[in-house]
Structure 1
Amino acid sequence: MPKITPNLWFDTKGKEAAEFYCSVFPNSRIKNVTYFNEAGPRPAGTVLTVEFELDGQEYVALNGGPEFTFTEAISLMITCADQDEIDYYWSKLSEGGEEGPCGWLKDKYGLSWQVAPGGMAEMLNDPDQERATRAMKAMLGMKKIDIAALQAAADAA
């Protein structure tokens, strides 16, 4: 099967964004940078693409211009092991960005992220429908996910 690599379209800040993401996620690095040449459409020497890796997942940042911007129609999901991880990624990625509901945020580059605990889907799909409903209602009232509050709501009788 061919490799699938998400390609993220930026106006001009693809390299800055890739460097930021690499600073947030462990085991991450910039792999390659390409530049526009005399053929344009941007000035020769301007960054065209940045190939980078976030903990083993490859991405490409493209400085394609202002024609397209990110929307919430696509997001990157971070499945966190515990509240400390949720707090870390939420703090880093929302700084200069925008907090949204239910564990969603937009970073300072406009890219949407979901910061969620592992096991949340199981809680929301619990065979005990009342428990699942309590968990869902609690999640819908949160911005950053609070695992203890979510668990307490699910377990409330």
Structure 2
Amino acid sequence: MTALSTCLWFATEAEAAARHYCAAIPGSAIGEVIRRPSGVPGTEDEVMMVTFTLAGAPVLAFNAAPPPGFTNGVSLVVSCDGQEELDRVWSALLEGGEAQACGWLKDRFGVAWQVVPEALPRLMQAGDAAQRGRVMAALMRMVKIDAAALEAAFHAD
């Protein structure tokens, strides 16, 4: 069976990042913490890889120096069921990081995230061009996304 997963490359923070993400995102769990065996470059017995799931999706965090760094060119998207969940996930991921625009943030490890309500893709696939345009105009004024404001923009006359 063919499978797809995400690999995040850190210098030394793989385990801390994995634990932080699993605490922030519902339905997530640490799998294995794999330590560097002897004979492999790096300090023996330090964390080399961490396997975990984020909302059921498999992820590998890997420690190796120097990491190439993260950019907004690739981001992780968390789709939240309601505003309360979105607010909680946003706050947890943002801790020590930097808020950006339109539901984007950079976490304290430099990873780019999009934290979106389930309403956003639903509204962008529904209605007519004017409704979708109002949703996008509302979104462009937001940092953290307000699902009720998106719904109001969609239904405005």
SS in 2 for 1:52: strand
CA distance in 2, matches of 1:118, 1:59: 22
**1:48-95 superposed Cα distances (whole Å, 9 cap, x missing partner):** 111112232221110021231111111111111111111111111011
Hey, which bits of structure 1, 4+ residues long, moved more than 3 A?
none
SS of the residue 1:123 aligns to: helix
Select between 74-83 and 51-60 the one with higher mean Cα deviation.
51-60
Match of 2:61 in 1: 61
Give 1:17 shift. Answer: 0.7
1:82 paired residue number: 82
Q: 1:67 to 1:61 in 2, by over 3 A?
A: closer
Q: What SS does structure 2 have at the residue aligned with 1:4?
A: coil
Note the C-alpha offset of 1:37: 2.8
**2:55 and 2:78 mapped to 1: Cα distance?**
12
Shift in alpha-carbon separation, 1:102–1:60, aligned structure 2, 3 A: same
Equivalent-residue separation in structure 1 for 2:146 and 2:83 (angstroms): 7
Separation (CA, whole Å) in 2 of partners of 1:60 and 1:113: 16
- Quote the residue 1:147 is aligned against: 147
1:38 maps to which residue?
Answer: 38
Matches within 5 A, 1:13-52: 13-52=13-52
The aligned amino acid for 1:120 is L
Task: Look up the equivalent residue of 1:66 and give its one-letter code.
Answer: P
Q: How many residues align?
A: 157
Amino acid at match of 1:64: A
What's the CA shift for 1:35? 1.8
Per-residue deviation, residues 20-54 of structure 1 (Å, max 9, x unmatched): 11212234322212222332321111111111122
Percent identity of the aligned residues?
Answer: 39
Once superposed, what is the RMSD of the aligned Cα atoms?
1.6
Match of 2:119 in 1: 119
Q: Sort the Cα spacing of 1:91 and 1:46 in 2 relative to 1 into closer, same or farther, 3 A.
A: same
- 5+ long unaligned stretches in structure 1: none
Alignment-derived partner of residue 95 in structure 2:
95
In structure 2, C-alpha distance between the alignment counterparts of 1:27 and 1:123, rounded to whole Å: 25
> In structure 2, what residue type is equivalent to 1:88?
R
Report the TM-score, using the length of structure 2 for normalisation.
0.91
Q: What stretches of structure 2 of length at least 5 have no aligned partner? A: none
TM-score w.r.t. length of structure 1: 0.91
